[in-house]
Amino acid sequence: MATDSAAVLDGDRLEVAKARHPLAEAAGMFFRNHTAVAGLVTLAIIVVGSLVGPYVYTVDPYEMVWAPFSEPGADGFVFGTDYLGRDLFAGVVNGGRVTLAVGLSAALLSVFIGVSIGALSGYYRGWVEEALMRITEFFQVLPTLLFSMVLVALFGASLAMVTFAIGIVSWTAVARVTRSEFLRLREMEYVTSSRSSGARDLGLMLIVILPNALPPIVVQAALMVGSAILFEAGLSFLGLSDPNVVSWGQIIGSNRPYILDAGWTVALPGFFIFVTVLAISLVGDGLNDALNPKLRER
């Protein structure tokens, strides 16, 4: 009898031990979501292709290799040639890196600004919040694309300037999300108890509150990468990108005058931007469902 009950107890303990870490739970949910996994796989292929591609397909994207406007597949060029007779496939293979890099760094910049402003205003309240929210409101009123266009046009179309111009106008949504999370969490008991045991403001913000505020911020950040890529493509389309660095948007911008005669020179790189952003949106949606199950859309 005694051994039996011990076995039952053991069994109970096993049950308890099976309770999973919330992150594992979220990961499980994410990977059961077919569209999210499809997005992740697509994104992985695009990222790996952009990183490795230039070493596999070694045609120089800047070199004129053939007559201009050769149709896709006609003269041995899968994607044809552009208005200068450059190999479009080489352009697409090499352009991905810059597009992804600009999108990622601009998103990081805007998340950094947004989280800082949102955290400070949500944590301190009072006049700090008032002032920072005024700044946020100011950037919401600013016509984003126009302002970035002016920045890039005035201060030069370097990659760094383009990244900065995108990041500086895109952070308001992150700031609002972060602020509302901080407003909610700062009243939680575990925060109060950390404070009463002597935690400093900075420690409370970064170590106690921020990790718990992360789920919605992560979702916002993921979507931000997508919109930053679209933003970069838009600027490039208007001719406001570094003319010396090939990116998907830059190919579109430089071939824009010839869309009616050589639509593929614009359609193909645009398609890659579209698929990349779509993949990122799918991953973002999947993260949203996995990390915020209560807020999930039915």
Partner 1 sequence: MSVLTLLVRRGGNGLALLLAVLVLNFTLIHNAPGDVADTIAGDMGGADAEVMAQIRRDYGLDRPFHEQLLAYVGKLARGDLGYSFFFNQPVTELLLERLPATLLLVLSAQVLAIMLGTVLGVIAARHPNGLLSHGVTIFALLGFSAPVFWTGIMLIILFCSIFPVFPVAGMIDVTVEGGWFVKTLDVLYHLFLPMVTLASIFLALYSRLARASMLDVLGTDYVRTAQAKGLSEFQVVYKHALRNALGPVVTLAGLQFSGIVSGAVLVETVFSWPGLGTLAFQSITARDAPMVLGILFFSSLVVIVANLVTDLVYSLIDPRIRIGHRG
Question: Residues interacting with partner 1, by CB under 8 A?
Answer: 137-138, 140-147, 149-151, 153-155, 180, 226, 230, 233-234, 237-239, 252, 259-260, 263, 266-267, 270-271, 273-274, 277-278, 280-282, 285, 297-298
CB 59, min distance to partner 1, A: 24
Nearer to partner 1, 246 or 280 (CB): 280
Nearer to partner 1, 57 or 274 (CB): 274
Nearer to partner 1, 64 or 74 (CB): 74
CB 210, min distance to partner 1, A: 22
CA-based radius of gyration for the chain: 24
CB 274, min distance to partner 1, A: 5
CB 263, min distance to partner 1, A: 4
Nearer to partner 1, 52 or 142 (CB): 142
CB 253, min distance to partner 1, A: 9
E strands of the chain, at which residues? none
Convert 237-252 to b/e letters by CB count within 10 Å (16 or more is b): bbebbbeebbbbbbbb
Distance CA 292, CA 182 (A): 16
Convert 110-141 to b/e letters by CB count within 10 Å (16 or more is b): bbebbbbbbbbbbbbeeeebeebbeebeebee
Residues 6+ apart with CB under 8 A from 193: none
